[in-house]
Structure 1
Amino acid sequence: MNAAVQENLIGVRTVKAYVREDYEREKFNGSADAVREAQLSAEKLVILNMPIMQLCMYLCIVAVLWFGGRLVIGHSMEIGQLAGFITYVVQILISLMVISFVLIVSVISRASVVRILEILQESPDIRDDTADQSLSPEDGSILFRNVSFAYDKSGEGIALEGVDLAIRSGETIGIIGGTGSGKSTLVQLIPRFYDVCCGEIVVAGHNVKEYRLSTLRGSVAMVLQKSVLFSGTILENLLWGNPAATEGEVVEACKTAQAHEFISSFSEGYRTRLGQGGVNLSGGQKQRLSIARALLKKPKILILDDSTSAVDTATDSRIRSGLKEERFGVMTKLIVSQRISSIADADRIVVLENGKVNGFDTHQGLLKSNAIYREVYESQRKGAN
Structure 2
Amino acid sequence: MKQSILSYLKPYKLHVGIAWTLMLIELSVELMLPFILGKMIDDGIEVGNYDQVIFWGSIMIGLALLSFSAGITNSFFASHATYRFGYDVREKLFEKVQSFSFKNLNDYPTSSLITRFTNDVRQVQTGIFMALRIMLRAPLLALGGVIMAFIVNWRIALVFFISVPLLIGFLFFLLKKGSSLFKKVQSRLDFVNRVMQENLAGIRLIKAFLRKNHEKSRFMDANTDLMKRTKTSYRVIESSMPVLLFVMNMSLIAIIWLGYIEVGNNQATTGEIVSIVNYALRVSMAISMFGFLTMAFARAKASVERLQVVMDAEVDLLEADDADDSHKITEGKVEFSNVTFRYPGLKANVLDNVSFTAKPREKIAIIGSTGSGKTSLFQLVPRLYDTNEGKVFIDGYPVERLKLDNLRKAIGYVPQAPLLFTGSVFDNIAWGKNDATEAEVMQAAKDAQIHDTLANLPNGYQTKIGQKGVNLSGGQKQRVSIARALIRQPKILMLDDSTSALDLKTESKLLEAIQEYECTTLIVTQKVTTAMESDRILLLDDGELIAEGTHADLLQTNDLYQKVVESQFGKEEAYDQKAAR
What TM-score results when the alignment is normalised by the length of structure 2? 0.62
Question: Could you say what secondary structure the match of 2:350 adopts?
Answer: strand
Q: Distance in 2 between matches of 1:4 and 1:294?
A: 32
CA contact (8 A) 1:225 1:308 kept: no
Q: Distance in 2 between matches of 1:384 and 1:92?
A: 94
Q: Deviations over 1:291-348 (max 9, x none)?
A: 01100011111000000011111111111111122xx1x3011011011111212111
Corresponding letter in the other structure for 2:526: Q
CA contact (8 A) 1:225 1:309 kept: no
Deviation (angstroms), 1:260: 0.5
Partner residue, 1:31: 222
CA contact (8 A) 1:42 1:108 kept: no
Deviation (angstroms), 1:77: 3.1
Partner residue, 1:282: 473
CA contact (8 A) 2:237 2:291 kept: no
Partner residue, 1:138: 330
Greater shift in the superposed pair: 282-291 or 106-115: 106-115
Deviation (angstroms), 1:194: 0.6
Deviation (angstroms), 1:22: 2.0
Deviation (angstroms), 1:69: 2.5
Q: Distance in 1 between matches of 2:448 and 2:383?
A: 26
Partner residue, 2:531: 343
More strand by share: 1
Q: Deviations over 1:161-218 (max 9, x none)?
A: 1111122111111101111110000011010111111111111121111122222111
Aligned residues: 381
Partner residue, 2:561: 373
Partner residue, 1:194: 385
Of residues 361, 364, 376, the one that matches 1:170 is 361
Partner residue, 1:228: 419
CA contact (8 A) 2:332 2:395 kept: yes
Q: Distance in 2 between matches of 1:66 and 1:288?
A: 86
Q: Distance in 2 between matches of 1:257 and 1:280?
A: 19
Q: Deviations over 1:212-270 (max 9, x none)?
A: 22221111111012100000000000101113222222211111111001111212110
Question: Could you say what secondary structure the match of 2:570 adopts?
Answer: helix
Greater shift in the superposed pair: 129-138 or 331-340: 129-138
1:148 pairs with 2:336: no
Question: Could you say what secondary structure the match of 1:303 adopts?
Answer: strand
Question: Could you say what secondary structure the match of 1:158 adopts?
Answer: coil
Q: Distance in 2 between matches of 1:217 and 1:72?
A: 85
- Whose radius of gyration is greater, 1 or 2? 2
CA RMSD of aligned residues (A): 2.1
After superposition, residues 247-262 of structure 1 pair within 5 angstroms as 247-262=438-453
User: Is there any run of 5+ residues in structure 1 with no aligned partner, and where?
Assistant: none
Change (3 A) 1:112 1:310: farther
Deviation (angstroms), 1:151: 0.5
1:270 pairs with 2:458: no
Q: Deviations over 1:106-133 (max 9, x none)?
A: 4456665554333233232211152233
CA contact (8 A) 1:49 1:101 kept: no
Greater shift in the superposed pair: 24-33 or 350-359: 24-33
Partner residue, 2:88: none
Change (3 A) 1:257 1:138: same
Greater shift in the superposed pair: 142-151 or 212-221: 212-221
What TM-score results when the alignment is normalised by the length of structure 1? 0.92
Q: Distance in 1 between matches of 2:219 and 2:435?
A: 46
Q: Distance in 2 between matches of 1:353 and 1:60?
A: 80
Q: Distance in 1 between matches of 2:219 and 2:376?
A: 35
CA contact (8 A) 2:237 2:294 kept: no
1:356 pairs with 2:547: no
Q: Distance in 2 between matches of 1:37 and 1:109?
A: 20
Change (3 A) 1:206 1:118: same
Deviation (angstroms), 1:373: 1.6
Partner residue, 1:22: 213
Q: Deviations over 1:35-94 (max 9, x none)?
A: 333333334345444343223222111112222332222223344443443344433333
Q: Distance in 2 between matches of 1:13 and 1:267?
A: 24
Question: Could you say what secondary structure the match of 2:290 adopts?
Answer: helix
CA contact (8 A) 1:174 1:336 kept: yes
Greater shift in the superposed pair: 31-40 or 241-250: 31-40
Higher relative contact order (CA 8 A, sep 6+): 1
Of residues 302, 314, 335, the one that matches 1:123 is 314
Question: Could you say what secondary structure the match of 1:7 adopts?
Answer: helix
Partner residue, 1:7: 198
Partner residue, 2:81: none
Of residues 246, 249, 261, the one that matches 1:70 is 261
Partner residue, 2:489: 298
Q: Distance in 1 between matches of 2:320 and 2:277?
A: 62
Q: Deviations over 1:131-168 (max 9, x none)?
A: 23333223201111111000034x61100011111221
Question: Could you say what secondary structure the match of 2:353 adopts?
Answer: strand
Q: Distance in 1 between matches of 2:236 and 2:300?
A: 13
Q: Distance in 2 between matches of 1:204 and 1:98?
A: 67
Q: Distance in 2 between matches of 1:114 and 1:310?
A: 45
Q: Distance in 2 between matches of 1:310 and 1:252?
A: 22
Q: Distance in 2 between matches of 1:318 and 1:297?
A: 20
Q: Distance in 1 between matches of 2:439 and 2:298?
A: 59
CA contact (8 A) 1:352 1:358 kept: yes
Partner residue, 2:570: 382
User: Is there any run of 5+ residues in structure 2 with no aligned partner, and where?
Assistant: 1-191, 574-581
Q: Distance in 2 between matches of 1:291 and 1:187?
A: 16
Corresponding letter in the other structure for 1:32: N
Corresponding letter in the other structure for 1:319: L
Q: Distance in 1 between matches of 2:320 and 2:257?
A: 71
Q: Distance in 1 between matches of 2:249 and 2:233?
A: 25
More helix by share: 2
Corresponding letter in the other structure for 1:368: Q
Q: In percent, how many aligned pairs have the same letter?
A: 36
Q: Distance in 1 between matches of 2:437 and 2:295?
A: 58
